[in-house]
Copies of this chain bind each other. A is one copy, B any other.
Amino acid sequence: MSLPLKGITVLEFSQYLAGPYAGLRLADLGARVIKIERPKGGDACRQLATKDLWVDGDSLLFHTINRNKESFCADLKQAEDLAQVKKLIAKADVITHNFRPGVMEKIGLDYEAVKAIKPDIIYAQVSGYGNTGPWVNKPGQDLLAQSLSGVTWLTGDVEGGPVPLGLAIADMLCGTHLGQGILAALVRRARHKIGAKVEASLLESMVDFQFEGLTTFLNNGQQAPQRSATANAHALLGAPYGIYQTADDYLAIAMVDLADLASALECPAIDLPQSQAFSQRETLKANLQKHLLSQSTSHWLARLRARGIWASEVLNYQQLLKHPAFEALAMPLTVQRPNRTRVVTTRCPIRFNNQTLRSIKAAPALGAHTNAIAEELLCDL
């Protein structure tokens, strides 16, 4: 199978997570992604370690995000390097960057300048808070974008303070949106031979992520979503939606008819009309939590499954990774570095023509491909 983006070249000036996550997905889908990195240090993510874990001098995090890419070193402040980069741009299809406003203009690689080099270029940029307004120069960082977006008041139970999602959700969503914009622009370019500028930002992606909650807020007299006191899992949904403690573990229960649930669990305390599932959710959830503590997760699951009620156990990483259902998906992907170091990571979540996309190319050492790319693409002797 030829991968869908075979033949597309992306120059990735982006650092950290959002832009490089877009680049990773384009690479998975078949694009050639070349990181353009500073000679001193490269992508700052190389030095950003999680849990103090490193592989061959770069953070494991960098390896996770940048597998299946090449690295080309250039100092954009040096005329000679900049001239080389401009030659690369002339042969590229897409460029991505996440520089602060004004930086690319100063270097001379803003959209208009790049378009003069390559008229049908797709120029994609990530920012923290969009391209206008008082936050335009604020640091574009995941936790800060979460904190400003309102999302921290949707997770956790109501008596607690704001709860950030424990992953870089703003970066990940912004990276997927940037990827969508780039791909849509490539569709248009393939049909109409014109390029485009594409922008996404952490904050706008976080607002889109909350479109259910914000639309409710905007059409409901600006009443803020209220988390429940027990087992909150979605501030806008009624009982029983949530995760509950049992005698030995936990149990997730999704949207379920209250009468069915009361009968399956022999719990008359939650047998109210379905129309009261939202308005009475505090009492219902508290009663349900109390009842579920009396027996084990497997006891309750057997009863719920017998009735076809939507419920499940709550797994941790150890349990998930040894589960036959996870093994069947073959998500882990072992990539191999030229020095034979191996890193186990996870594959692209998209399947294409019944196949998973499993490039085993590891993340590049800083500048590993500078010479080869220069010979291949910059040789104009």
Q: Is A34 an interface residue (CB 8 A)?
A: no
User: Which residues from 310 to 330 on chain A have a C-beta closer than 8 Å to any C-beta of chain B?
Assistant: 310-321, 324-329
Binary per-residue interface labels of chain A (348-375) against chain B in the complex, 1 for a CB within 8 Å, 0 otherwise: 1111111000000000000000000000
- Copy number in the complex reads 2
CA distance A317 to B293 in the complex (A): 35
Nearest-neighbor residue (CB-CB) of A129 within chain B: B325
A332 to chain B, nearest CB (A): 6
Q: CB within 8 A of A139: which of B219, B310, B315?
A: B310
A216 and B167 within 8 A (CB): no
Q: Is the CB of B167 within 8 A of A210?
A: yes
Q: Which residue of B lies closest to A21 (CB)?
A: B211
B329–A130 CB distance below 8 A = yes
Given contacts A144-B254, A329-B133, contact A315 B149 (CB under 8 A): yes
Chain A positions 264 through 301: 1 when the CB is less than 8 Å from some CB of chain B, otherwise 0: 00000000000000110000000000000000000000
Binding site for B on A (CB under 8 A): 2, 4-5, 7-8, 25, 29-30, 48, 50-53, 55, 60-61, 63-65, 129-135, 138-139, 141-144, 146-156, 161-169, 172-174, 176-181, 183-188, 190-192, 196-201, 203-205, 207-220, 222, 224-225, 227, 232-237, 241-243, 245, 250, 252-255, 278-279, 310-321, 324-329, 331-332, 343-346, 348-354
Which 7 pairs show the lowest CB-CB distances between chains A and B? A133-B328, A190-B190, A183-B183, A50-B236, A154-B166, A147-B252, A4-B188
